Amino acid sequence: MEHIEYPAEGYSKKRSASQQEKKHRKPAAVLSISTVPLIMTLGNSMLIPVLPVIEKQLGISNLQSSLIITVYSVVPILLIPIAGYLSDRLGRKMVMIPSLIISGIGGFLAGWASWKMSNPYYMILIGRMLQGVGASGAFPIVLPLVGDLFRQEEEVSATLGVIETSNTLGKVLSPILGALLAGWIWFMPFFSFPLFCLVSIFLLLLFVKSPKREEENKESIREFIQKVKEIFQREGRWLYAVFAIGTILMFVLFGFQFYLSSILEDQFHTVGIMKGFLLAIPLAALCFASFLTGKYIKGNKKTMKWITTIGLVVTAISLCMILFSDRLWYILAIFVICGIGIGAGLPCMDAMITSSIEKEERGTITSIYSAMRFAGVAAGPPVSSILMKNSEFVMFFILAFLCLVSAFFSMKAIKPNS
């Protein structure tokens, strides 16, 4: 019997060593995955403080410059569900890495057009559309990938908090980095994006090991669409609410970012690095709130619901108070409160939708959710641009009203016990 016991002991040691190795690899995997939302956010938000400079360099209007942000976000609305479908069948990394390559090519094209062409505006839009194509299969696939890698709801919630914090950290760094690069050469933010993508690709290849995929029957498109319909028939009440809340939060966030970027330059004559730092203040509050929320919720869906509802109400109240003073410190303080409210809600929505959907369906449903968030990002700047010309009061009233509608959805449609 002795010769049988030793291999068993050796096997146990190997298994323990393997588990220890996996445990040590998890922080590196989380860090590597977190670079994707960070970089995708930089690719869009980094341009917001640069838009007035682009307007002057290209001789375009405020609305035309906002489309440079919008086209990046419109394309994913259509392509993200397809990317989710493919990631469920081909694997997460098989979709994410080619998407990062495409996105990097789009950034290079926009930079090259700005550098070499006399009238580069439409070629910049084409480059931005390519970046949007790449973004479709990058950040949205992060959510189901986290759900695949971690089994415990507490681990999923905590990791999604880190992911959302990375996303918001990108928003914090974006205005500073964008202003810094544009201060060197105005089109340098475009050229920097391919380099960021290369870093993320390298880290994903090195540290992220996708779980082994079980052999399964490949669904036809018809079967896939039927399954999605069944999911929405079964889970539609709370899914529609989460989709609406995610869309509105991103719409409000990018709406007030665009507004703040415009008034800093037009009313307060603040440009360059100082403008970047001021834009980063409310986003830093958002980042901090996302991180704390991800740590606190620990998979508790009731907690997620109430944090989201309170965050939305706080955001709505603060938006209603914005026009009580035109002093810069007051406006920044109001947007800090907005950032905290939005930052509290986003990781709750991410965790709720990721932990409540089965693994086989997760990629598709989270991708539709991400597409809805991109719709909010796409609509925020141009809608704010149009409303700012007519009435700032109406703009902030609409944003506050949408937050209250979202709070109502959270209260009535999200039922953790049902």
The pLDDT score that the predictor gives to residue 13 is 47
**CA-to-CA distance for 277 and 381, rounded, in angstroms?**
20
**CA-to-CA distance for 51 and 54, rounded, in angstroms?**
5
Q: How many CA atoms lie within 13 A of 353 on its CB side?
A: 32
CA torsion through residues 138, 144, 149, 150, sign: positive
Given a contact cutoff of 8 angstroms between Cβ atoms, the answer to whether 43 and 107 are in contact is yes
The pair of structure tokens assigned to 176 is: 């500073």
Q: How confident is the model at residue 417 (pLDDT cuts 50, 70, 90)?
A: low
Given a contact cutoff of 8 angstroms between Cβ atoms, the answer to whether 79 and 139 are in contact is no
Phi-psi sector, 283: left (phi>0), alpha (psi -120 to 50), beta: alpha
Mean pLDDT of 64-90: 86
Mean pLDDT of 239-255: 93
The pLDDT score that the predictor gives to residue 296 is 84
Q: How confident is the model at residue 236 (pLDDT cuts 50, 70, 90)?
A: confident
Q: State the burial class of residue 79 (Cβ atoms within 10 Å of its Cβ: 0-12, 13-18, 19+).
A: buried
Mean pLDDT of 269-295: 88
Q: How confident is the model at residue 146 (pLDDT cuts 50, 70, 90)?
A: confident
Length of the chain: 418
The pLDDT score that the predictor gives to residue 111 is 96
Task: Say how far residue 70 (Cα) sits from the centre of its chain.
Answer: 14
Q: How confident is the model at residue 25 (pLDDT cuts 50, 70, 90)?
A: low
Residue 6 has pLDDT above 60, yes or no: no
What string of DSSP letters covers 313-325?
A: HHHHHHHHTGGG-
Q: How confident is the model at residue 175 (pLDDT cuts 50, 70, 90)?
A: confident
Q: How confident is the model at residue 397 (pLDDT cuts 50, 70, 90)?
A: very high
Q: State the burial class of residue 296 (Cβ atoms within 10 Å of its Cβ: 0-12, 13-18, 19+).
A: middle
Given a contact cutoff of 8 angstroms between Cβ atoms, the answer to whether 308 and 164 are in contact is no
Q: Which of 40-44, 158-162, 288-292, 341-345 has the highest mean pLDDT?
A: 341-345
The pLDDT score that the predictor gives to residue 360 is 66
The pLDDT score that the predictor gives to residue 21 is 43
Residue 329 has pLDDT above 90, yes or no: yes
User: Which residue shows structure tokens 């489309």?
Assistant: 67
Report the SS3 class of residue 47.
coil
CATH topology of domain 27-206+231-413: Growth Hormone; Chain: A; (1.20.1250)
Please state, rounded to an integer, the average pLDDT across all residues of the chain: 85
Q: How confident is the model at residue 17 (pLDDT cuts 50, 70, 90)?
A: very low
Q: How confident is the model at residue 216 (pLDDT cuts 50, 70, 90)?
A: low
Model confidence pTM above 0.85: no
The pLDDT score that the predictor gives to residue 231 is 81
